[in-house]
A and B are shown apart, each in its own frame.
Chain A
Amino acid sequence: MKLSEDDLHAYVDDRHDLERRRAVEAELAQSPEDAARAAAYREQSAALHALYDPVLGEPVPERLRNVRASGRGARYAIAAGWFVAGAALGWLAHEFAGDRPPSRPSFARQAAVAHAVYSPEVRHPVEVGAAEQEHLVNWLSKRLGAKLRAPLLTREGYELVGGRLLPGDSGAVAQFMYQDAKGKRLTLYVSRLAAENRDTAFRFSQEDKVAVFYWIDGRLGYALSGEMPKPELLEVATSVYRQLNP
């Protein structure tokens, strides 16, 4: 069969079921030209996220928080102030309250924000799914310029959902997402650090509802985030750490 454009784009956008995806992959293996296009289109989407996702974390300007009904609808006007910045991210509001520029968030906070933004996603929690784990890890490794690994957390009850590329302070950041049988999610946030840092032991930060364990290992910073009690998260963090440092 000749690969249709519909199939190729649905593959790029991860809209196929497993069987169909396998069929498309088989076709792509036969056609380097189509495979190169599929890869380029995927890169486009990843680059769009890298370029524009930071807008999600910007404080919402006053004028957008206080939009009122206009014209004939004015009688529905709502009291000013109900447009609270970051209502979607509830707990972000107090950091960004007011119009002063936000201070640069800490590594743990950035990881927690990324967790809060993506872990509730039902339909598109990740850019590349676990079914393509090899592609996922290679892609993220390439973008971070460091060899990454997605730890296996089956024993802790979590399966890899997939991962995505995010922008960070010193370049690209990888986020791996895991989920347990009840749908509870964990994210592992991996950032290439700008300068050589001393390795650190585990550090803990409670970012509102999100608990974060983070540590530095060589040129990579890791943060494991989840909405769960500290001891439970520590157990998983320990497993992650052991696997990354065999």
Chain B
Amino acid sequence: MNPERIAEHIPRLRRYARALVGDQYAADDLVQDTIERAINKRHLWRPGSDLRAWLFAIMHNVFVNQLRSRRAHPEEALDDDALPAVMPLDGVQLEIRDLQAALALLPPEQRAVVLLVGLEQLTYAEVSDALGIPIGTVMSRLFRGRERLRAMLTGAPALPGLKVVK
């Protein structure tokens, strides 16, 4: 695989990482580790398969490893200056900041699914592949994550015991 093909995906990897970890530098660290690992393991990539999904899968593994090693350290406060420029309209600005704060409060496994589906627009099957979890688990994390976000953003109570009906 030509590594330039990985370069094409950097902007989207950065977008997902920024949403996933919040802080710009931590997010770029995650992207850097992901690219490094992808280059080292590029002989494992199956030609013809979706490179982007493969990169998201690698990023997920790196992210999970980082979470594990960070458990020992206290959570760092979100740096307010690190927030990206927001829209200047009053109401919208509030909404956007709230979303970012609410996102940070989601359990990481739900946050990942909500972002891969809603922001990166991966199919449910692609998310299942990237995270290495069954599709039923993808869906239940998606339901819970979105409902929890809605509850945080509107102040409404989340639907109790949201059922997964097939």
Q: A5-B162, A40-B154, A48-B99 are in contact. Are A55 and B149 (CB under 8 A)?
A: no
* In-complex Cβ contact of B119 among A52, A72, A84, A171 (8 A): A52
Interface residues of A in 1-45 (CB under 8 A from B): 2, 4-6, 9-10, 12-13, 15, 37, 40-41, 44-45
Q: A15-B123, A40-B154, A78-B39 are in contact. Are A170 and B88 (CB under 8 A)?
A: yes
| CB neighbours of B10 from chain A (8 A) | 60, 64-65, 83, 87-88
B147 close to A (CB within 8 Å): yes
| CB neighbours of B164 from chain A (8 A) | 5-6
> Whole-angstrom distance from the CB of A31 to the nearest CB of chain B?
13
B146 close to A (CB within 8 Å): yes
Q: What does DSSP make chain B's interface, helix, strand, loop or mixed?
A: helix
The chain B residue sitting closest to A78, CB to CB, is B3
Q: How far is the CA of A9 from the CA of B145 in the complex (A)?
A: 12
Interface string of A86-102 (1 = CB under 8 A from B): 11110000000000000
The chain A residue sitting closest to B27, CB to CB, is A55
Q: Interface size bucket, B side?
A: 35 or more
Q: How far is the CA of A71 from the CA of B8 in the complex (A)?
A: 24
Q: A6-B165, A124-B121 are in contact. Are A41 and B146 (CB under 8 A)?
A: yes
Contact B150 A51 (CB under 8 A): no
The chain B residue sitting closest to A169, CB to CB, is B88
The chain A residue sitting closest to B86, CB to CB, is A51
A199 close to B (CB within 8 Å): no
A236 close to B (CB within 8 Å): no
Contact B142 A64 (CB under 8 A): no
Contact A56 B32 (CB under 8 A): no
Contact B7 A56 (CB under 8 A): no
The chain B residue sitting closest to A4, CB to CB, is B165
| CB neighbours of B59 from chain A (8 A) | none
Contact B99 A55 (CB under 8 A): no
> Whole-angstrom distance from the CB of A50 to the nearest CB of chain B?
7
* In-complex Cβ contact of A69 among B12, B36, B87, B96 (8 A): B36
> Whole-angstrom distance from the CB of A86 to the nearest CB of chain B?
7
B18 close to A (CB within 8 Å): yes
* In-complex Cβ contact of B11 among A37, A60, A71 (8 A): A60
Interface string of B15-46 (1 = CB under 8 A from A): 10011000000001001100110011110000
The residue in B8, B10, B84, B149 that gathers the most chain A C-beta atoms within 10 A of its C-beta is B10
Contact A41 B150 (CB under 8 A): yes
Interface residues of B in 85-144 (CB under 8 A from A): 85-89, 92, 95-96, 99-100, 114-115, 117-119, 121, 123-124, 139, 142-143
30 contacts between A and B (CB under 8 A): A5-B143, A6-B164, A9-B142, A37-B147, A41-B146, A41-B150, A44-B114, A44-B118, A44-B150, A47-B96, A48-B118, A48-B119, A50-B96, A51-B19, A52-B84, A55-B18, A57-B11, A64-B35, A67-B35, A67-B36, A72-B40, A76-B42, A82-B3, A83-B3, A84-B4, A88-B7, A88-B11, A124-B121, A167-B87, A172-B89
Task: Give the 4 A-B CB pairs with smallest separation, nearest first.
Answer: A73-B40, A45-B118, A4-B165, A88-B8
Using a CB–CB cutoff of 8 Å, the interface residues on chain B facing chain A are 3-4, 7-12, 14-15, 18-19, 28, 31-32, 35-36, 39-42, 84-89, 92, 95-96, 99-100, 114-115, 117-119, 121, 123-124, 139, 142-143, 146-147, 149-150, 153-154, 159, 162-166
| A13-B121, A83-B3 known, 9 other contacts, Cβ within 8 Å | A5-B143, A45-B117, A48-B115, A50-B87, A52-B19, A60-B11, A83-B7, A87-B4, A88-B7
Using a CB–CB cutoff of 8 Å, the interface residues on chain A facing chain B are 2, 4-6, 9-10, 12-13, 15, 37, 40-41, 44-45, 47-58, 60-61, 63-65, 67-73, 76, 78, 82-84, 86-89, 123-124, 143, 145, 167, 170-172, 194
